[in-house]
Every structure is written in structure tokens, then in C-alpha cells.
Amino acid sequence: MAPLEGGPPAVHLLGNHELYNFTRKDLQEGIKVPGISQQFRVSAPEGLDANSPSACSSFYSFSPHEGWRVCVLDPYDVSVLSRGGGRPAFELDASQLEPRALALCQANNPNDVTGEDFARGIPPGPDLRWVPFNGAIGERQLAWLQDTLELAGRRNERTILLSHVILLPEATPCASCITLLWNYSEVLEVIRAADPPPVAVLCGHAHQQVFAVDPVSGTHHVTFASPLEVEPGGDASAIIEVFADGMLAVRGRGAVPDAKLCQLRKE
């Protein structure tokens, strides 16, 4: 969704459907939206004072208000889709997919991950995450996230993470894990080691609403319902309000319920 003209910069997350329709290069540099002056881009938008490895990086952080920092993640850093430009088994064949990510996914999935029946026979649980519409956060991004959370802690900033792909098994619908990040455990280690850990991780991808709390870090993991799944004329959106004491309030509309997320402390 494009912002209102003259409003704050819009932050767009990198997801699988963006990579189905555009190349990564186009998404990072910006795509012109008819009638809107601000481009659609998954790198930090112009006008946002972002902490970013490069001008076209798809992961970055920014401070929307004193005492708060938002980290935008790229969960397709390591992915068969990392180049973008189409869907496996439809617009793209195996030769057009990222070979190392393809080998990693295939090594953990008994089915042909370049075909349409890639989840056949895999029971719900972490093994089901090894499907081609998920991905992983690479070593460079993981180190950047750790450094960013450490710096935020020294600055007394509370943090919120944004990721299209889900980072906690319990935050996937029915804990099926089919929309779970490949290397979720590595990312959870970084989150749990942060002092203080992030208040919340906000995700999408699964199209269904889920609220979960990581019992180790106390971080809230929220998976948002998708407008694609509501009846015509319905809604699935929310406004997130943050408070000085670390509480987040989800003001939901339609398929997204209201919720209050209080920052919990690690044991």
C-alpha cells in the first residue's frame, strides 16, 4: 500500500510474492507506482534516517521516536527465490534458482522442491519449514542484527523486529511451521541474547492471525492476518501504538483483533 502524499515514508517488507513478480534488484532500487511520487522499494525509503549496510540493502534499522528502534529483516537473504523474477515450477526452472539455497532446501526435504507438491507427506513441525517459499537470514545479516540490538541496548532503546517470514514455531498457525524461517533457531539465539530482548517481532506470510510469546526471551511474536483472506469489503489491518513503559497496543481492524503486549523480562 502506498502512503498518502506528504505522509511519512512507507516501509515495505520483502516477501515471497514480491520476489515472484519482480527481481531483487528492482525491489531494492525502487519501482514506480502510477500516480504516487514515492517508489515501492524494499530498501530504506528516501527520507528515513536508516542505519543500513548500503543504500540498497533490504535489511536496515531506524528510530521512529526517541527510545525506540525498528529492525527490518530480509528473510529471503538465503533462498531459492533470492534473485526474484518468478515462481519455482511456474516462471522459473531449477537452473534459474539460487543453487546453494536450492541444495540446502532439497537436502532437508524428501520431495522435489522445484515442483508443486513440495510439502507432501511432511508432518507439522519444524521439518515442514524446508519449503521453497521460505528462506534464511544470512551470516552477514545475522551479525548486523546482533550488533544493532547490542547498540540499541547501550542507547536504552527498545526494539521491534519486522519480518515477512515467521521466526518462532509457536507463531505459525497451529504450530505447523510451514511458514517458519529456515534458520529460525539462530535468529532466536540472537534475540534471546539481547539485553533487553526485542519487545515484539511482527510478521506476516501465514495469512492467519497468531499471538505467541517466546518463553525464553519474553518477546511477543505476532503473525498478522492477511487482507487476501477476508471477504470483499472486509479488512485486516492494524495500528501499533507504543508507550514509554515498553507496552505495545495493537489497534486491530477486521480480522486483526485488539491486543496489549506488555514487555516481559527474561528469567
Residue 240 lies in a domain: no
Rounded Cα gap, residues 16 and 104, in angstroms:
18
Model confidence over 81-124: pLDDT tens digits? 999 999 988 898 888 999 999 999 999 999 999 999 999 999 99
Q: Note the pLDDT of residue 1.
A: 41
One DSSP character per residue, 116-174 reads S-TTTTPPSSGGGG-STT--B--HHHHHHHHHHHHHHHHTT-EEEEE-SSBSSGGGSGG
Q: Quote the number of domains for the chain.
A: 1
Residues 222 and 144 sit within 8 Å (Cβ to Cβ): no
pTM (2 d.p.): 0.94
- In this prediction, residue 2 carries a pLDDT of 44
Residue 265 confidence (pLDDT): 64
CB 183 within 8 A of CB 137: yes
What stretches in the chain show pLDDT beneath 70?
1-7, 264-267
Sign of the dihedral defined by the CA atoms of residues 54, 55, 60, 65, in that order = positive
What pLDDT is stored for residue 5 in this prediction?
54
Asked whether residue 142 is assigned to any structural domain, the reply reads: yes
CATH code, domain carrying 77? 3.60.21.10
Domain-located, residue 256: no
pLDDT at 35: 80
Query: What letter would DSSP give residue 110?
Result: S
Hey, is 111 helix, strand or coil? coil
Cβ atoms of 206 and 172 within 8 Å: the answer is yes
The full length of the chain comes to 267
HSE-up (13 A, CA, CB side) for residue 198: 27
Question: What is the grid cell recorded at 197?
Answer: 530482548
What pLDDT, on a 0 to 100 scale, did the predictor assign at position 4?
A: 47
Q: Is 35 part of a structural domain of the chain?
A: yes
C-alpha 19/C-alpha 119 separation (Å) is 20
Nearest one of 114, 24, 120 to 74, comparing CA atoms? 24
Structural domain contains residue 236: no
In tens, the pLDDT along 174-193 reads: 999 999 999 999 999 999 99
- For 63, the domain range is 16-226
Tell me if 5 is assigned to some domain: no
Q: With H, G, I as helix, E, B as strand and everything else as coil, classify residue 62.
A: strand
Cell numbers that stand for 92 in this block? 522459473
129 assigned to some structural domain:
yes
Q: Which of 56, 53, 103 is nearest to 78 (CA)?
A: 103
Q: Assess if residue 39 is contained within a domain.
A: yes
